[in-house]
Homo-oligomer: A and B are copies of this chain.
Amino acid sequence: MKTDLSYLRDIYGKKAVDRAAAMLQDLEIEVPSWGFGRGGTRFGSYPEVGDARTVEDRIERARQFHTRTGQGRRVAMHFPWDGETAEDIRGLAAALRRAGLEAGAVNSNLFTMRAGDGLDHRLRYGSLTNPDKEVREASVRHNLDCVRIMRILGAKTLSLWLPDGTNSPGQMSFYDQAERLDDAIRAIARALRPGEKLLIEYKIFEPGMYSTAIPDYSRALALCEIAGKNSGVLVDLGHHAPTTNIEQIVAFLLRAGRLGGFHFNDKKYADDDLASGSIDPAQLFRIFVVILEAMARRLVRFKDIAFMIDESHQIKDALEEMVESVTNIEIALAKAALVDFDKLWRHQRACEISAADSVLHHAFHADVRPLVEAVRTERLRSRQ
């Protein structure tokens, strides 16, 4: 792909293109270590020789990814998948360093059974909301362990996705569930130091099939109120009911000062975990428009938001699909960065709606690939 920007400059003007380039340069996308392995569904996975299986494999792929795209300097980790013992963690820190990478968000894992820790088959009934106090305590403890891991790795963010939920209406009282969860979040948040951040993710369903403990951003927001200032809501694009207007949620959270970050991916049906922007690129564009508008209104800065990918690469080569994803995200941002907000607002406030929509269309229809390519080239050059 060429990096000739003359077509874009002709249409949008040099100033707008430069501004878009600057934004692209500022965007830092974090990639998940688990995304470099072979994903699967409940029906199974189809591994192949050459798939990344160990944490070393995954870090090597992350290194290749970073070398190729300039993105993914920070890699989100998942524990105990990415290490269990203190030695593992120290080895991991060294491996990241060697690869020229940093640890991104540390994700606690409350759905994988491990022996002798309380986190056994009883996880079936929940982790932080389990009726059994022993399991609840072990689940909190695992998060505190993750905080310690964060510090060893030099990470600043604990990312919490809760697999808790129910499969039948009688299984658990919503009130008991909520009380237990409030208590657990309080305990976890207490362990965090200034400068460390807790991201709380919500998800409408799965693995809970009748309900989940944090089904929507409203519940996540209430938990952030408990956790305190250094917490934020984590928006995973695949975790909403069909037809939900996600960009409006993003705007709401930005306005409330509670947008912690994103798990980018795409979906057609449920939490499909497909490549970002592969199904609905216009939605991804609108999400960035809403973010950039908040920036223009000085509600937020890029660096306040954790831009992370969370996908499951089942069919394609994981590295290739990660490149596709990050490229789609950059394309969406670049298009959004071409929106002329002053013009948009002027038309909106005058009820000139066709004209207002045209401002968005004009940006969306741009072929920004040369710009994305140019910034990437520049980014890679500057790293050398």
Q: Which A residues fall within an 8 A CB radius of B? A: 2, 7, 11, 40-44, 46-48, 111-113, 121-125, 131-132, 163, 166-176, 178, 204-207, 209-211, 215-219, 221-222, 240-245, 247-248, 251-252, 255-256, 267-270, 272-275, 278-283, 286, 289-290, 293-294, 297, 299, 312, 314-317, 320-321, 324, 331, 344-345, 347-351, 353-354, 356-361, 364-367, 369
Knowing A256-B222, A269-B209, A365-B331, the reply to whether A46 touches B170 (Cβ < 8 A) is: no
Knowing A121-B47, A123-B46, A175-B297, the reply to whether A353 touches B244 (Cβ < 8 A) is: no
Evaluate contact between B348 and A210: CB separation under 8 angstroms. no
Knowing A121-B48, A209-B272, the reply to whether A169 touches B219 (Cβ < 8 A) is: no
Evaluate contact between A369 and B359: CB separation under 8 angstroms. no
* Pick from B317, B356, B369: contact of A171, CB under 8 Å: B356
A255 to B242 CA separation, bound complex (whole angstroms): 26
In the complex formed, the residue of B with least CB distance to A344 is: B170
Q: List 25 A-B contacts (CB under 8 A).
A: A7-B367, A43-B163, A131-B351, A132-B351, A167-B274, A167-B314, A167-B315, A169-B247, A169-B289, A171-B353, A173-B344, A174-B251, A174-B255, A174-B290, A176-B349, A205-B270, A207-B314, A210-B245, A241-B241, A243-B269, A245-B268, A324-B357, A324-B358, A324-B361, A365-B369
A132 to B350 CA separation, bound complex (whole angstroms): 8
In the complex formed, the residue of B with least CB distance to A252 is: B219
A51 to B42 CA separation, bound complex (whole angstroms): 18
A124 to B354 CA separation, bound complex (whole angstroms): 14
Knowing A209-B267, A244-B241, A348-B173, the reply to whether A44 touches B168 (Cβ < 8 A) is: no
A364: chain B residues within 8 A (beta carbon):
281
In the complex formed, the residue of B with least CB distance to A135 is: B351
Count of identical protomers in the assembly: 4
Known: A170-B348, A174-B252, A210-B274. 19 other contacts (CB 8 A): A41-B42, A46-B113, A125-B353, A167-B314, A167-B316, A170-B356, A171-B315, A174-B248, A174-B290, A175-B294, A205-B269, A210-B279, A215-B248, A219-B252, A222-B252, A222-B256, A245-B268, A331-B365, A365-B367
A262 to B256 CA separation, bound complex (whole angstroms): 27
